[in-house]
Amino acid sequence: MDRSYWANVIFCLILGFLIIFAVTNINSALTPKGLLARDAKPSAEAASLLPKVVLTGYNVGENSGHMVRADFYVRNNSTKDVKNLDVLCEFYNDKGRYLDRKLWTLSETVPAGKTIQHSSVSKRFVNSGTRALTCRITDFQVVETPFFTLHRVSESHGEGAVSEHGHTEHHGAEH
């Protein structure tokens, strides 16, 4: 018995332990929602406002051209504008078994205290065995106040207009 024999024995033992570990833990990896599906967690900035930004209604369906049409109604009861809302929809069959899930990103801004409707038509596949679905907002971004704003200056040269050189120009009768 030389060194290669013992190296092979140790390698086989390690490989055996890894296989046993994988087989005993496979049931926790295979969730009803898929192998690697995890619950969506909101970002830190959205977590505190998430109860105030509400999905008040939704309708997801397939039209005759096999295009998915999704309508979402969002109410922002917070004091801050929000944008880029992630809406997660989970689909179930007639027995209540989980089938699939899709994520939509609503790219428009929802002003504070307002409700918007967002409609989307896409080529996403929705399982044809779907009989029920649930949708919820999982994340969004808070609209930050801009660092600066641009103000347009009128180009009229009426009374009190500022010239190119920063001097006030007066036109008309002398005072």
Express as a percent the part of the chain with pLDDT over 70. Answer: 79
Contacts of 96 (CB under 8 A, 6+ apart): 132
pLDDT band at 55 (very low <50, low <70, confident <90, very high): very high
pLDDT for residue 4: 87
Tokens of 65: 């051209």
pLDDT band at 63 (very low <50, low <70, confident <90, very high): confident
Q: How many angstroms separate the CA atoms of 10 and 19, rounded?
A: 14
pLDDT band at 32 (very low <50, low <70, confident <90, very high): low
3-state secondary structure of 17: helix
- What is the amino acid identity at position 88? L
Q: How many angstroms separate the CA atoms of 73 and 76, rounded?
A: 10
How many degrees, rounded to 5, is the angle at CA 73 between CA 108 and CA 61?
105
Q: What is the mean pLDDT of the chain?
A: 81
- pLDDT, greater one: 117 or 97: 117
For CA atoms 87, 115, 131, 98, give the dihedral sign: positive
pLDDT tens per residue, range 101-155: 889 999 999 999 999 999 988 877 777 778 899 999 999 999 987 777 777 887 6
By residue count, the chain amounts to 175
What sections of 95-168 are H helices per DSSP?
none
Q: Lowest mean pLDDT: which of 32-36, 50-54, 96-100, 122-126?
A: 32-36
CA dihedral 65, 103, 111, 43 (to 10 degrees): -170
pLDDT at 18 over 80: yes
